[in-house]
Amino acid sequence: MHHMTLAEIARGLADKKFSSEELTKVLLARIAQLDPQLNSFISLTEELALGQAKAADARRANGESGALLGAPIAHKDLFCTLGIRTSCGSKMLDNFKAPYDATVVAKLAAAGTVTLGKTNMDEFAMGSANESSYYGSVKNPWNLEHVPGGSSGGSAAAVAARLLPAATATDTGGSIRQPAAFTNLTGLKPTYGRVSRWGMIAYASSLDQGGPLARTAEDCAILLQGMAGFDPNDSTSIDEPVPDYRASLNGSLQGLRIGVPKEYFSAGLDPRIAERVHNSVKELEKLGAIIKEISLPNMQHAIPAYYVIAPAEASSNLSRFDGVRFGYRCENPENLIDLYKRSRGEGFGAEVQRRIMVGAYALSAGYYDAYYLKAQKIRRLVKNDFMAAFNEVDIILGPTTPNPAWKLGAKTSDPVAEYLEDVYTITANLAGLPGLSMPAGFVDGLPVGVQLLAPYFQEGRLLNVAHQYQLNTDWHTRTPTGF
């Protein structure tokens, strides 16, 4: 039962082959048995899940239908869930029970999803390896000595290990796409503004975007359908109609213009990944796509710009965690300043503190123009590169990551080495564009992802290309041994 995709589950439920309650029990038992190896959950919500499953079964018995009605999922632990711990992977919020549901959580619950739990993540979504979590590292089911990617490593490891069919995640600089690549999943970061950020604990507000992590493009379409849409509670939410994503899956790729940026194939890229990317290009060519070399000349400036803008926004967003209003408070403060200092010093981990300091520095008087303003100008250049490229092509294709998943601990003492791994993903966040990662082969038994980028609001196009690719390849069907 645990091998089923969301699409298969929907069919099985509709045909009364099993109930949501039965499926939920099977998956909860599987999580109890296998998650100790992976550490992909921070909280399990068995009671909530069984209640939601029974309610979904009752709705079906009353004649309701829907692809998500009775579908078991989990939420990354930065989506607020009413009455349930929402930790953001941090000691700071270890005792925080959200007083409301995030819009994404509420929308999915209304569509009938069953929440099995809250998944592990890098602290405040800062990281590319899921090693900065207060709750410990997550292991990659493809090789338990390797990282699953981050920051949505818990969602990715759980879905890859068949503990559940799909999960929500968020992507500020690659945190959906990069763990998807590292664990052989399909993950979609929507256009900025497509999915409401209300109730998503903020890391860098101008970059953060929620999206689906699943095993197939079709399942990403199903989950995105339940997540996307205008939300008056989020001032950056965009009031555009949500298309039927599943309906777009079957379009032909005949004549589709795919751009491959020459800058992507620099010395930093593992040649074995380059080869897998070229194979995926050949496959898409067979399906009728036309391949064109393009250029994104400002790509090299994206990492330094991102690692100024994201920490700057984080330093501002995280100022609310002061020991007074939310979460952790130090013992016996001597005075107000001591309360602030020790609550923050004890409640935040090392990487979060590093970023708050970098961000506060970049925003300080005298340095603002040199760092923050400069980074914003680069951001515009990165966007302009994409706009020029999309005049020539419909889709941009390349690797999702320069390397496969590294060993646990390999980069923990060198934060910059970890930042450099984000080179292919962060540009989409800087420009606000949608991006998808899909499985495209293996290197030393570890999965490789190919990234597709599209113009604003063309999530349907990305899902279409990935679905057609998946109809003609079987990488996405491979299962990690032991799971």
Q: Is 151 in the site for ligand GLN (CB under 6 A)?
A: yes
Q: Is 173 in the site for ligand GLN (CB under 6 A)?
A: yes
- Amino acid residing at 472: N
Please indicate whether residue 235 is annotated as part of the active site.
Answer: no
Closest CB to ligand GLN among residues 69, 452? 452
Binding residue (CB under 6 A) for ligand GLN from 80, 88, 102, 310: 310
| Catalytic position from the list 151, 155, 315, 343 | 151
**Shortest CB 209 distance to ligand GLN, Å:** 9
**Shortest CB 15 distance to ligand GLN, Å:** 38
Using the 8-state DSSP alphabet, how is residue 91 labeled?
Answer: G
**Shortest CB 422 distance to ligand GLN, Å:** 5
CA–CA separation, 229 and 301 (whole Å) = 32
Size of the site for ligand GLN (CB under 6 A): 13
CA–CA separation, 16 and 315 (whole Å) = 51
Please indicate whether residue 377 is annotated as part of the active site.
Answer: no
Closest CB to ligand GLN among residues 151, 298? 151
Contact (CB, 8 A) for 173 and 425: yes
Contact code string over 96-135 relative to ligand GLN, x by CB under 6 A:
-----------------------------xxxx-------
Contacts of 477 (CB under 8 A, 6+ apart): none
**Shortest CB 175 distance to ligand GLN, Å:** 3
Q: How far is CA 121 from CA 41, 88, 153, 435, in A?
A: 9, 7, 6, 20
CA–CA separation, 269 and 261 (whole Å) = 13
CA–CA separation, 95 and 105 (whole Å) = 20
Binding residue (CB under 6 A) for ligand GLN from 172, 225, 237, 298: 172
Contact (CB, 8 A) for 461 and 454: yes
Q: What share of the chain is helix, strand, coil (3-state, %, to 5)?
A: 45, 15, 40
Contact code string over 396-425 relative to ligand GLN, x by CB under 6 A:
--------------------------x---
Closest CB to ligand GLN among residues 72, 187? 187
Contacts of 168 (CB under 8 A, 6+ apart): 73, 74, 75, 76, 79, 104, 105, 108, 155, 210, 211, 212, 213, 223, 227
Please indicate whether residue 76 is annotated as part of the active site.
Answer: yes
**Shortest CB 176 distance to ligand GLN, Å:** 7
Residues in contact with ligand GLN by CB under 6 A are 125-128, 151, 171-175, 203, 310, 422
Catalytic residues: 76, 151, 175
